[in-house]
Structure 1
Amino acid sequence: MSLHDDAVLVLKAYGGQEELRQVYLDHLDAHPDGMYKRCGAGHLTSSALVVDPSRGRVLLTLHKKLGMWLQMGGHCEPDDVTVEAAALREATEESGIAGLTLLPGGPVRLDRHPIPAPCHWHLDVQYAALAPVGAVAEISEESLDLRWFGYEEVAGVADTSVVHLLENTLDRL
């Protein structure tokens, strides 16, 4: 099964945000290359909010290009077998934490946001990743900073997309 096919199955099984979910499915139907950055009409991305429930905190990255505190994530790569695997790969690479596990139950949320030309949209499939007890984060080249924030601090540093992702994640914990 291709990554494209996996994304369609994941989205069909996703039980929320019906209108936005259909936008994603329509995009994939119209764009066989819609999983990858080369698709000029936009492309799916995969991300994960790294959560440490034992300490009531989340790990955010200060994105190098955007200058915003965000969850870990990014573009799907040809070696990614599933959208879920892409999210876990991105979270592991950007956090430096080995042993992350995705919260069961599939994506936590979908978020569509505009990006500068030549592409137009990121159609982000958002997961939550559980950090192992005692996890130590290590900054990657893709970040300006990497920091743990208490749940109550997130709204003060991140945009509404991250806040909604955290709310949906906490509903599942």
Structure 2
Amino acid sequence: MTLHDDATLVLKGYAPEHRAGAEDGQAELRQAYLDHLALHDDGMWKACAAGHLTASALVIDPEREKVLLTLHRKLRMWLQMGGHCEPRDTTLEAAALREAMEESGITGLTLLPGGPVRLDRHPIPSPCNRHLDVQYAALAPAGAAERISEESLELRWFGYEDVPEVADTSVVRLLEATRARL
């Protein structure tokens, strides 16, 4: 099975009507992602000029009620960990977990069961143009120590209540949906 096939199966199984945030267009986004994959054999890859799927994960420590965000080097925004799928990724989950571990420096992360938490489509500076992000949540192990990567200007743990002050609506909605699943 290819990553493209896995993404199609994951999206077909994503039931936004049964999740928090269903009222904000998740069903329509799900269909747009499926349509994109049906039209573009290269829809998983950065080279796809029409846009491409990405995988991300919000690193969360539910016991401390904190999330780890990265100050993205290029975008200069506080975001969840994530990015482009790579040829070695066999599943969207694997891509999200790889990105979360690479960007946070934390080993032992585990994805919150139940598949993606949310979908988010957003414009991105050229040459990528548009990301169709499949968003997961990753649970940090007790005593997790983060380590900054070359993709970040800074990593910082934020209390749940502090996220709306530093992050955009997409990250806030991802946190809300994640907390509803905990």
| TM-score (normalizing by structure 2) | 0.94
Aligned pairs for 1:141-156 (under 5 A) are 141-156=150-165
1:18 equivalent in structure 2: 27
1:119 shift after superposition: 3.1
2:141 equivalent in structure 1: 132
Aligned pairs for 1:19-58 (under 5 A) are 19-58=28-67
| TM-score (normalizing by structure 1) | 0.99
Aligned pairs for 1:91-130 (under 5 A) are 91-130=100-139
Unpaired runs of at least 5, structure 2? 17-25
Which amino acid in structure 2 is aligned with residue 32 of structure 1?
Answer: D
2:181 equivalent in structure 1: 172
Which amino acid in structure 1 is aligned with residue 61 of structure 2?
Answer: D
Count of matched residue pairs: 173
Measured in 2, the distance between the counterparts of 1:90 and 1:52 equals 17
Which amino acid in structure 2 is aligned with residue 170 of structure 1?
Answer: R
1:115 shift after superposition: 1.4
1:18 shift after superposition: 1.0
Measured in 1, the distance between the counterparts of 2:31 and 2:45 equals 19
Identity percentage of aligned residues: 77
Give CA-to-partner distance per residue, 1:116-155, whole Å, 9 cap, x none.
2333210000000000001010000000000000000000
Measured in 2, the distance between the counterparts of 1:8 and 1:172 equals 23
SS of 2:170's equivalent? helix
2:79 equivalent in structure 1: 70
